[in-house]
Amino acid sequence: MEQPTIGDAFGEMIRDAYAVRTGIGPRPLAGGRYPRPVIEVIERDDGLINGAPADHYLNEPGDWQAYDRRALRLCRGRVLDIGAGAGRVAIELQRRGIAVTGLDTSRGAIEVARARGLRDTVLATVDEFAEAAVRYDTFLLLGNNLGLLESAERAPVMLAALARLAAPGARIVAQGSDPYGTRDPVHVAYHERNRQRGRLGGQLRLRLRYRELATEWFDYLNCSPAELTALLDGTGWHLKSIDQQDRPYYVAVMELDS
Amino acid sequence: MEQPTIGDAFGEMIRDAYAVRTGIGPRPLAGGRYPRPVIEVIERDDGLINGAPADHYLNEPGDWQAYDRRALRLCRGRVLDIGAGAGRVAIELQRRGIAVTGLDTSRGAIEVARARGLRDTVLATVDEFAEAAVRYDTFLLLGNNLGLLESAERAPVMLAALARLAAPGARIVAQGSDPYGTRDPVHVAYHERNRQRGRLGGQLRLRLRYRELATEWFDYLNCSPAELTALLDGTGWHLKSIDQQDRPYYVAVMELDS
């Protein structure tokens, strides 16, 4: 059995989802004739696989989860949307007259975000972009993108990069998921397996697959609010507030120590 | 990276799709709270992966493709529905007062078909069931199940088993897909790769994955009507008619030579 090709699986998926939603660009077809649904496939390193329709990456604020809408009200000043994807959130901020930059590592996603009207985009990792001279007041990580902290090893590096990009008084507004409420034995066993390997329980090792493409394997961190608090220790950032109205999902606001 | 567990991936998926559609049984949840879509993931041996919502396995005749509805009119006498799945087709035949047996190798699918009211079910392969004393007038392979012919090697074995189960004048009504109309370079390359390995171009090597489970790898044959005709040669079956109104999909009727 051959492995998939490493490439911009996320971007190709977003391109197809955009074509389906708008009719712009070739729409994915089955049998050269029937619309093919655009499904994101996420593989975990224990053999678990999950598919989910990709259209939510493009949905309008009226269709968002309530915690996403509440998170937007927590933005202050100039915003860097990290993992901006197809621009779902950044475009809404731009509509509201807020200065926003959309950052993503997926070329295809950035191209779709620009086609949808997002003006200020960056194709880079946070680490790469942290060398820029620009400063932000809010770092926004929605769509579960608190997961981009990756691991206990990686989180301080990411948080240091954000500190370099931070204007005085800057904040991080990040949506996370507490993974430990589940009773699903597959997930409970996975958390335990992670801990035995010295990883955080919810330190997922994932790759995305879309048709013939896959991303490299990457860590994506689902952590509890208590784990997040511990991860922040010594980074210069602290937890200012946390919105847990929609458990297991939460929106955390972090600020730089003064 | 660990491999998925070999098991009844199809059956578990059908069970979840049934729970979502009816509210019977535990519904799949994300984060222990939000409905999780039930997606069938199909992996091909060249690294291609596709996801599609599983709900169509349970849909009502009003939502079927037109070729499925036309295929039902081709049934005569006592029907064996091969690869009956959740009973979509067999239950409709039963509703119409037709004697029908639903055969599948997935225990979970058979359980759902029975829960939905399908009375006569068999959990077996066609080869196993061909030892039974019962005889059928129509072998029905819808939902692209002409693919169960698998390969040039396997097709005559399957067709011989059906001949053993055949009442005088029996027919096969099978829906297939002609794979060769595509211009998708991924598929064109796959067909070529297959031929170089001595396989039929559309002889797909697949496995289904659902959460932590996967089936074994199996062959599933998408063949052109011309290839089908060639496959039948010497088996005692011949092509009687073919409905190609909805290319690339077709419904073939095969009968035993007299």
Here the ipTM equals 0.93
In the predicted model, is pLDDT for residue A1 greater than 90? no
Q: CA-to-CA distance for A22 and A171, rounded, in angstroms?
A: 35
Q: In a 3-state reduction of DSSP, which class is residue B117?
A: coil
What residues have CB less than 8 Å from B133, skipping those under 6 apart? Answer: none
Q: Which residue has the tokens 């419904």?
A: B251
A53 touches chain B (CB under 8 A): yes
Cβ B4–A212 below 8 Å, yes or no? Answer: no
Closest CB to A249 among B31, B49, B211: B31
Closest CA to A21 of A59, A50, A51, A77: A59
How would you write the pLDDT of chain B (258 residues) with one tens digit per residue? Answer: 899 999 999 999 999 999 999 998 889 988 777 889 999 999 999 999 999 999 999 999 999 999 999 999 999 999 999 999 999 999 999 999 999 999 999 999 999 999 999 999 999 999 999 999 999 999 999 999 999 999 999 999 999 999 999 999 999 999 999 999 998 999 999 999 999 999 999 999 999 999 999 999 999 999 999 999 999 999 999 999 999 999 999 999 999 998
- For B6, the closest chain A residue by CA position comes to A47
B80 touches chain A (CB under 8 A): no
On average, the pLDDT of chain A sits at: 96
What residues have CB less than 8 Å from A230, skipping those under 6 apart? Answer: none
Q: Strand locations in chain B, DSSP E?
A: 5-6, 29-30, 34-35, 39-44, 49-53, 79-82, 100-104, 121-123, 136-141, 166-177, 203-210, 213-214, 218-221, 237-243, 249-256
Distance from CA of A253 to the nearest CA of B (A): 21
Cβ B47–A214 below 8 Å, yes or no? Answer: yes
Cα–Cα distance list, A160 to A126, A149, A157, A185 (Å)? 10, 11, 5, 36
Best probe of the A interface among B2, B13, B49, by most A CBs < 10 A, is: B49
A87 and A58 Cβ atoms separated by less than 8 Å: no
For residue B164, what is the DSSP state?
H
A4 touches chain B (CB under 8 A): yes
| Mean pLDDT within A200-220 | 98
CA dihedral A187, A189, A194, A197 (to 10 degrees): -170
| Confidence at residue B33, expressed as pLDDT on a 0 to 100 scale | 78
B185 touches chain A (CB under 8 A): no
Q: In a 3-state reduction of DSSP, which class is residue A144?
A: coil
On chain B, the residues whose CB falls within 8 A of the CB of A3 are 47
Buried b (16+ CB within 10 A) or exposed e, B115-143: ebebebbbeeebeebbeeeeebbbbbbbb
pLDDT, one tens digit per residue, over A146-185 is: 999 999 999 999 999 999 999 999 999 999 999 999 989 9
On chain B, the residues whose CB falls within 8 A of the CB of A4 are 47-49
For residue A148, what is the DSSP state?
G
Cβ B211–A249 below 8 Å, yes or no? Answer: no
What residues have CB less than 8 Å from A183, skipping those under 6 apart? Answer: B32
Best probe of the B interface among A44, A48, A49, by most B CBs < 10 A, is: A49
On chain B, the residues whose CB falls within 8 A of the CB of A210 are 49
For residue B82, what is the DSSP state?
E
Best probe of the B interface among A212, A222, A250, by most B CBs < 10 A, is: A212
Best probe of the B interface among A50, A56, A146, A184, by most B CBs < 10 A, is: A50
Distance from CA of B202 to the nearest CA of A (A): 12
